[in-house]
Structure 1
Amino acid sequence: MSQSLLPSVKGIRLASVPAGLRDWQRDDLLLVEIDQGAAVSAVFTQNPFCAAPVVVAREHLLRGRVRALLVNAGNANAATGARGLSDARACCAAVAKALAVRPEQVLPFSTGVIGEQLPLQKLLDAIPPAAAQLCHRGWDRAAQAILTTDTRAKTASRTLEANGERITVAGIAKGAGMIQPNMATMLAYVATDAAIARPLLDTLLNEAVGASFNRICVDGDTSTNDACVLIATGAAGRPVKTPGGAGYSALRQAITEVHIALAQAIVQDGEGASKFVTLQVAEAESPEEALRVAFAVGRSPLVKTALYASDPNWGRLVMAIGNGIQGGLDTRRVHITLDGVPVVKAGCRAPDYREAQGAAVFAKAAFTIRIALGRGHCSEHIWTCDFSHGYVTINAEYRS
């Protein structure tokens, strides 16, 4: 196996193998073995049409110590009924047999086409070879194995010193389309060798997800398969049990930074995307309102196509802002800037604004749109991208 560019995480072993789930020549099955005694936390899609592996993973997470993850690309095993659930459980049983653990200690994950039955035998045949190849330095190959329409792997890591110990945080993610998470992201796996008690790990994950994956939008659709897993193996350092514990602040920052880096990488690799845009909404009545307005702008097809065309059509911005407001809005208080260039003042075109200024900003590969609502003191931000011809082509030809 090729040497990983990401640092290994003590207590984690990985293996990626080709199971042939689609017509491609690449790894598409990932097996992750977790040392006994590790704490595992996870969040899943809130889409009620959740996939069979999500149902099974939720059940297993509640039943005991997680010892393994199994991830397949190319087939979502979603909207597949009783057979889908049976297939997901059969995969867990096969992993349990290969690793000498219990089936309920295995969490299954799938990504790919919705509505097709899982090619179960191909997965079952690939699990023993994967188990035989498990090693500590397999993160980058793992990041490649879980991709679908992604054009590149998403990886991130941080190292820190805590209580005199060197701690590693490393993560991988996949996702390029069907993205506006309502919990986490498409699929993301982050691990640290720090020792973190499970209740605190749950808190860290929810905080990190709130600062990262729940702030991205490619097309406004929440997937049936979204999941984010955070693992703390406990193989390095003294246990962190409370927010006030030694080293907690630095560890929290590192975990959050890894999640943010992975989330931003998903937007940057959005299907057909050519622009990475930070949307800041300030002077809102509440954080919820600020995020609601940000997502109304960030997922608007009219805004996103203007981004692609490098057309600073600010009229589309004010339209989308109005769609995100619940209740009256005094438009005379609304101001908009593009990378600091005033475009809208008091709800109208800024007197000194020139079209060439906006066009220069929109022509950049990355820029910031700031919206001040003039309604309060709350601010939030999200990251989004444009809609291109490539997005339409990718999704129109997704099953061809």
Structure 2
Amino acid sequence: MKWIDGGVTAPQGFRAAGVYAGIHACSQLSEKESAAFIQNLRDCYGKQGHKNDLALLCADVPCTAAGIFTSNLVKGAPIAVCKEHLKNGWAQAVVANSANANTCNADGLQKAEAMAEAAAAALHIPEEDVLVASTGVIGQPLPLPPILAGIPRIAERLSADGSLEAATAIMTTDRVPKNMAVEFSLGGKTVRIGGISKGSGMIHPNMCTMLCFLTTDAAVSAAALDKALRLAAKDSFNMLSVDEDMSTNDTCLLLADGAAGNEELTSDSPDFPVFVTALRKLCIQLARAMAKDGEGAKHLLVCEVAGAVSDADARKVAKAIVCSSLVKAAIFGADANWGRVLCAVGYCGANVDVHKVDVDFSSPAGTIPVCRSGAGVPFDEDRAKEILLQDEITVMVTLHDGTATATAYGCDLTYDYVKINGDYRT
């Protein structure tokens, strides 16, 4: 497997684009002012100088498709549309907007359906083959006119080089776009999987708070695609947390168009594990990128747990540590306060003998042991600080209770997180 450029348009047969539609601006304007604003965008398209806020992804042919969504009881209206349209296991396009979540709105479902209808008309495909996603402020009515005006424009811009445009369009508080792809061999055929995602705040499993769109030119049955996506998410997006706030709009979609020409994979195919491994690696890298780009974050925080009684116990411990506000604050301050790590192990509910636990802090600057058999060991504070000042920090926890392992992804907790979320809506 090798990493390649191209994101969601790296696989054969996929095109994408992103444009600035003025969704946030129109939410602040009257109907008359909004119409004038949209007309001005038409007149000076390409000269606005604003971040894209409307994305479109389309395949040349209908694709087998799968999706997983937030487990929050409060769900964005686009999720209902996606679930309905995915019932037959097929899709061909995704339309998504940032700047507004279209959640907790009385007319949300109708507007999400209108987005699908407009995209279908622009692409000349059935409406039921269009999936919809939104991200942004919860509880504010979605201004539909700029989206309906933007969809025909974005359809004209669709390109095999448009993945980065689309990745930028779905960003909210993200500082950088997440745009990746992998290439590998499957049944003697060269196969690619590409992905874009967004998410820096309101991120917590299961699944985590994000939008993620994945594409592949492998031929995969709908049932196998669904299974592969869930297996990949288990070790990636479901092990990611920035702030323990689960979003209402988490959406992860995977489309497979079969353009690579391999024999169609089922979950019983000998090559199915190869596909799952590649998909998992891509999803883990996207999860790491989202954790590192957490709101206000200065450090990527990774927790690697080994020696657990079971997978479930390993996952509980790893998640508890990356979710601990006290651990996150210590990482921000480059303070080797390992007691906070052990504290999280103790309250997470896992089957653990705390008198066996070892803890090490690691980074590109080196590794330092700080706890052995549940008790502190002498260590050089200056050396520990040097290690913890790096951009990426790993907390290594060995339980000595079994053989199960797990890895979770998070970030530190900084002053900027409060600043960003203190006035996010206004």
Q: 2:327 aligns with which of 292, 303, 306?
A: 303
Q: 1:220 aligns with which of 227, 233, 244?
A: 244
Q: CA deviation at 1:284?
A: 2.1
Instruction: Give the structure 2 partner of residue 371 of structure 1.
Output: 397
Q: Deviations over 1:22-64 (max 9, x none)?
A: 2482221111222334111111111111111112211111146
Paired letter, 1:45: T
Alignment of 1:43-58 (within 5 A): 43-58=68-83
Q: 1:388 aligns with which of 398, 414, 419?
A: 414
Aligned pairs, number: 395
Q: Distance in 2 between matches of 1:209 and 1:44?
A: 11
Range 138-147 or range 332-341, more displaced: 332-341
Change beyond 3 A, Cα 1:389–1:21: same
Unaligned 5+ segments in structure 1 are: none
Instruction: Give the structure 2 partner of residue 334 of structure 1.
Output: 357
Instruction: Give the structure 2 partner of residue 131 of structure 1.
Output: 155
Q: Distance in 2 between matches of 1:136 and 1:353?
A: 53
Change beyond 3 A, Cα 1:5–1:379: closer
Instruction: Give the structure 1 partner of residue 376 of structure 2.
Output: 349
Q: Deviations over 1:208-238 (max 9, x none)?
A: 1112111111111211100111111111222
Q: Percent identity?
A: 37
Unaligned 5+ segments in structure 2 are: 26-48
Instruction: Give the structure 1 partner of residue 261 of structure 2.
Output: 237
Q: Distance in 2 between matches of 1:219 and 1:145?
A: 23
Q: Distance in 1 between matches of 2:270 and 2:398?
A: 39
Q: CA deviation at 1:292?
A: 1.2
Q: CA deviation at 1:243?
A: 4.6
Q: 1:30 aligns with which of 31, 34, 55?
A: 55
Change beyond 3 A, Cα 1:85–1:319: same
For the 8 Å contact 1:196–1:241, the answer to whether it is kept is yes
Q: 1:61 aligns with which of 78, 86, 94?
A: 86
For the 8 Å contact 1:185–1:214, the answer to whether it is kept is no
Change beyond 3 A, Cα 1:330–1:201: closer
Change beyond 3 A, Cα 1:374–1:167: closer
Change beyond 3 A, Cα 1:191–1:341: same
Q: CA deviation at 1:4?
A: 5.9
For the 8 Å contact 1:143–1:174, the answer to whether it is kept is yes
Structure 1 residue 318 corresponds to structure 2 residue 342: yes
Alignment of 1:246-265 (within 5 A): 247-265=271-289
Q: 1:97 aligns with which of 104, 109, 121?
A: 121
Q: Distance in 2 between matches of 1:227 and 1:377?
A: 33
TM-score (norm: length of structure 2): 0.87
Q: Distance in 2 between matches of 1:6 and 1:91?
A: 21
For the 8 Å contact 2:303–2:396, the answer to whether it is kept is yes
Q: Distance in 2 between matches of 1:331 and 1:18?
A: 53
Q: 2:384 aligns with which of 358, 383, 390?
A: 358
For the 8 Å contact 1:240–1:246, the answer to whether it is kept is no
Structure 1 residue 77 corresponds to structure 2 residue 79: no
- Over the aligned positions, Cα root-mean-square deviation in angstroms equals 2.1
Paired letter, 2:15: R
TM-score (norm: length of structure 1): 0.93
Q: Distance in 1 between matches of 2:278 and 2:357?
A: 36
Instruction: Give the structure 2 partner of residue 143 of structure 1.
Output: 167
Change beyond 3 A, Cα 1:245–1:361: same
For the 8 Å contact 1:64–1:105, the answer to whether it is kept is no
SS at match of 2:141: coil
Paired letter, 1:360: E
Q: CA deviation at 1:397?
A: 2.4
Q: Deviations over 1:297-316 (max 9, x none)?
A: 11111111111011111221
Q: Distance in 2 between matches of 1:106 and 1:305?
A: 42
Q: Distance in 2 between matches of 1:161 and 1:372?
A: 35
Q: CA deviation at 1:246?
A: 6.0
Q: Deviations over 1:129-154 (max 9, x none)?
A: 12222222211111111100000100
Q: Deviations over 1:61-104 (max 9, x none)?
A: 114631221100000011113x1111111111212222222222
SS at match of 2:226: helix
Q: Distance in 1 between matches of 2:240 and 2:416?
A: 19
Q: Distance in 1 between matches of 2:206 and 2:89?
A: 25
Q: Distance in 1 between matches of 2:283 and 2:355?
A: 37
For the 8 Å contact 1:147–1:175, the answer to whether it is kept is yes
Instruction: Give the structure 2 partner of residue 155 of structure 1.
Output: 179
Q: CA deviation at 1:194?
A: 1.2
